[in-house]
Amino acid sequence: MSTNLQFDQIRLPRECEILRQDVRTFLADEIANGTFDPHRPGHGDSHDRAFSKRIGAKGWIGMTWPKKYGGHERSFLERYVVTEEFRVANAPVRLHFVADRQSGPILLKYAPEHIKANILPRICRGELCFVIGMSEPGSGSDLFAARTKATKVDKGWRINGSKIWTSNAHVADYMLGLFRTSSPTKENRRHGLTQFLVDMKTPGITVNPIYQMTGQHDFNEVVFEDALVPDDHVMGEIDGAWKQATSELAYERSGPERFLETFYVMLELIRALGPEPDIRSAEGLGRLVAQLHALRRMSVSVAGMLQAGKEPVVEGSIVKDLGTIWEQKLPHRVRELTAFLAPEIGNRATLEEQLAFATTVAPKLTIQGGTTEILRGIIARGLGLR
Amino acid sequence: MTSESDHIVAGVAARIFADFADPQTINRDKGGAWKVPFWRALSDAGLPLAWVPEQLGGSGATLADGLAVLSVAGRFAVAMPLAETMMAGWLLARAGLKAPDGTMTIAPARPLDRIILGRDGILTGRVCGVPFASDAQHIAVLAEGESGTAVALVATKDCRIDQGKTPAGDASDVVTFDHVKPLRHALALAGFDQTALMLMGSVIRSVQSAGTLEAILSLSVAYANERVAFERPIGKFQAVQQNLARLAGEVAAALAVSGSAADTLAQHDAFDDATFLEAASAKIRCSEAATESAGIAHQVFGAIGFTQEHVLHRFTLRLLAWRDDFGNESYWAAELGKYVARLGADEFWPLVASR
């Protein structure tokens, strides 16, 4: 517990810049071929299986994982470059992104050998979509209130209950889910949850869509009725998931996706303002640039410190706290800064379409993957206040 | 990247500050008796002229070493022109001029102020907000002359000083050069101009500010853990925790962005587009952090933090005052915005990603 915050000055090494050019060329070709439109986020298929396979073929999924599981043993900074370039281009990566960022690393750590050998190479080839099963109708931020039960039966576990807000569940091949295997104890309310790998084709699983206020279908409710999961699909310690849940979070919280989600409206703002903006717009734009640069330098720093084996838990949480609030406010700020533009500016239609989409997406950014309030609790704990 | 020598020089500075400039002691010392021994200790360690090459009378430390010293100085937020003297020595060296002993400051200290060097070698101009001008023995001046940008060394007593004060009570003066003959002057290195001086000043203020913000966070968390209200330390209340977490976020951003700008200067000592993006962003973000953080810290401390007796104001008011030196956040934001607009949307992300 300390108030000493650390941000090592990490600059991306030369091999990252070669890789970046490679990624940009690939994305330019995909855009030219009509795979996606970088100016229209929220349009088109966000789960593009064929596209994910082409990304896998380039070696850009599971980049940091061991070669024997189909990975490429590259650095986290190289993965960082790929992630940020895909995000800035608004490329559809939902199909493999969760597996690449979160699920794969958990399997690497806790899955038995034959499961690693079976599943990880398929993730790397861009063939598998994962869903995270944590929230339930009665438990969201309070993960340890989960009630969906896994009951021990002969050769496996029988699951009953439901998970909610499960992004990707309607297209996912596997879930990594948190299920109750014992009651919490008086001493430890976090005790009694176990992490399982669940094949989404298992009989007894129903996926019901929940449409978001953007009009998109991403959320689902996943209902388990006597779904049978084999013994070797237990990930880690029975009843001890609480010990496993926190270690990977710094990666999940500090990546470029935590501040670039609405970045496209900033590019469109620059197009709308033209080369000679008035002083008010120039100042507004400059403040946004300074924030973006600061966030990216923090985020790269956390990636570099993780690569070096450090554990910047507080710093990672701060990146997500500041980054998500910034990307949430960004469309509103862009709206203000374009208030005095002439009606005939060339990109008005694109700008307005993007602003409408970004404005409807914005509220979720400070909720998903750890709410602002939860993050600040973690930061306060790190400072020595709890 | 911090090198081994950073740690040594910054370590020396930290010991001097701890021994001679303890905030509690200074705060009780209304007469300023601490200043003389403190400055002597700094001078003995070669810190005021750290950025002056040995052949020009200084100790020839690297930019990285000096910036590490200023980060330490920020943690103590003292009312002495150490940063200003270091920067003045550095400015004189841009024109190969020897640096005098004693305290110095820099003019202009605002981006829109101008000083002119006439063909007769005489300075004219009126500049605002010169930090510590009335306390400094010499002023290092950047002036526009017919043959280009020049640097001059001026005795403060040769100028007219109209005294002003920052919110922290430090001198921030209007300096009038009414046909002042400098002690010496020379043309600056090719490419060096007032924008470069302002960017250097902005990095210096950002690094100091980040140090001060670290001190404010540490003081605020310690106080929240000690102060009991409603039968609990106030740090146990979620509302207070959320505020302190926000404060930590501001401190983190300031540390990261000022560290990045300092690293950029230390690595390539040039005032190009990369340095402009880094230095302007650092000044903007650190100034914004100052505004937010001073507010949060005072809220945590309540009434006691609003007293002269408490040290908090030494940190918060100086932090707020530094926003205005060498271009405030509005100025740099407009400059940065104009630059990015000229660059265009397609070149913007490559610029950000290049850092």
Q: What is the ipTM of this complex?
A: 0.96
**Mutate which: A263, A270, A293, vs B, most B CBs within 10 A:** A293
Question: Which residue of chain B comes nearest to A82, CA vs CA?
Answer: B353
B335 and A297 in contact by Cβ < 8 A? no
Per-residue pLDDT, B6: 60
Per-residue pLDDT, B2: 46
Question: Which residue of chain B comes nearest to A278, CA vs CA?
Answer: B338
B340 and A285 in contact by Cβ < 8 A? yes
**CA angle, A100 then A13 then B70, to 5°:** 115
Question: Which residue of chain A comes nearest to B217, CA vs CA?
Answer: A3
Per-residue pLDDT, B8: 87
Place of tokens 């929940």: A210
A275 and B257 in contact by Cβ < 8 A? no
B336 and A285 in contact by Cβ < 8 A? yes
B225 contacts in chain A (CB < 8 Å): 384-385
Question: Which residue of chain A comes nearest to B347, CA vs CA?
Answer: A267
The two structure tokens encoding residue B14:
């930290």
A385 and B224 in contact by Cβ < 8 A? yes
Question: Which residue of chain A comes nearest to B215, CA vs CA?
Answer: A3
B342 and A322 in contact by Cβ < 8 A? no
Across the range A90-98, mean pLDDT stands at: 96
B248 and A292 in contact by Cβ < 8 A? no
Q: What are phi and psi of A285, to 5 degrees?
A: -65, -45
Partner residue opposite A3 with nearest CB, options B221, B329, B344? B221
Partner residue opposite B345 with nearest CB, options A267, A292, A315? A267
Minimal C-alpha gap between A301 and chain B (Å):
8
Per-residue pLDDT, A247: 56
Amino acid at A205: I
**Mutate which: B67, B209, B281, vs A, most A CBs within 10 A:** B281
B246 and A376 in contact by Cβ < 8 A? yes
Mean pLDDT of chain A: 95
Partner residue opposite B334 with nearest CB, options A283, A296, A315? A283
Q: Which residues contact A165 (CB under 8 A, 6 or more apart)?
A: A135, A140, A210, A219
Minimal C-alpha gap between B249 and chain A (Å):
6
Per-residue pLDDT, A369: 87
Which residue did the predictor score with more confidence, A155 or A249? A155
Residue A246 has pLDDT above 70, yes or no: no
A298 and B256 in contact by Cβ < 8 A? yes
As a whole number of angstroms, the distance between CA A203 and CA A224 comes to 9
Percent of all residues in chain B with a pLDDT value above 90, rounded to a whole number: 94
**Mutate which: B112, B199, B221, vs A, most A CBs within 10 A:** B221
A286 and B280 in contact by Cβ < 8 A? yes
How buried is residue B262: exposed, middle or buried, by Cβ count under 10 Å (0-12/13-18/19+)? buried
Task: Find out whether A283 and B337 touch, Cβ atoms under 8 Å.
Answer: yes
**Mutate which: A2, A6, A7, vs B, most B CBs within 10 A:** A7
A345 has a chain B CB within 8 A of its CB: no
Is residue A141 very low, low, confident or very high in pLDDT (cuts 50, 70, 90)?
A: confident
- Residues in B 232-271 with any Cβ partner in A closer than 8 A: 235-236, 238, 240-242, 244-246, 248-249, 251-253, 255-257, 259-260, 263
A283 has a chain B CB within 8 A of its CB: yes
If you count residue pairs, one on A and one on B, with CB atoms under 8 Å apart, how many are there? 176
A380 and B244 in contact by Cβ < 8 A? yes
Radius of gyration over every alpha carbon of chain B, rounded to an integer in angstroms: 20
As a whole number of angstroms, the distance between CA B211 and CA A327 comes to 27
A336 has a chain B CB within 8 A of its CB: no
Partner residue opposite B260 with nearest CB, options A9, A318, A376? A9
Question: Which residue of chain A comes nearest to B289, CA vs CA?
Answer: A291
Per-residue pLDDT of chain B in tens (355 residues, 90 and over written 9) = 445 566 789 999 999 999 999 999 999 888 889 999 999 999 999 999 999 999 999 999 999 999 999 999 999 998 999 999 999 999 999 999 999 999 999 999 999 999 999 999 999 999 999 999 999 999 999 999 999 999 999 999 999 999 999 999 999 999 999 999 999 999 999 999 999 999 999 999 999 999 999 999 999 999 999 999 999 999 999 999 999 999 999 999 999 999 999 999 999 889 999 999 999 999 999 999 999 999 999 999 999 999 999 999 999 999 999 999 999 999 999 999 999 999 999 999 999 999 9
B211 contacts in chain A (CB < 8 Å): none
Partner residue opposite B255 with nearest CB, options A7, A277, A380? A7
Question: Which helix H or strand E contains B249, and what residues bound it?
Answer: helix B238-268
Per-residue pLDDT, A2: 83
Minimal C-alpha gap between B195 and chain A (Å):
17
Per-residue pLDDT, A45: 81
Is residue A311 very low, low, confident or very high in pLDDT (cuts 50, 70, 90)?
A: confident
- Residues in B 331-350 with any Cβ partner in A closer than 8 A: 332-338, 340-342, 344-345, 348-349
Question: Which residue of chain B comes nearest to A24, CA vs CA?
Answer: B350
Residue A57: CB atoms within 10 A of its CB come to 12
B337 and A283 in contact by Cβ < 8 A? yes
pTM (global) more than 0.90 = yes
Question: Which residue of chain B comes nearest to A89, CA vs CA?
Answer: B349
Minimal C-alpha gap between A117 and chain B (Å):
36
Q: For A272-287, write each residue's pLDDT tens digit.
A: 999 999 999 999 999 9
Residue A223 has pLDDT above 70, yes or no: yes
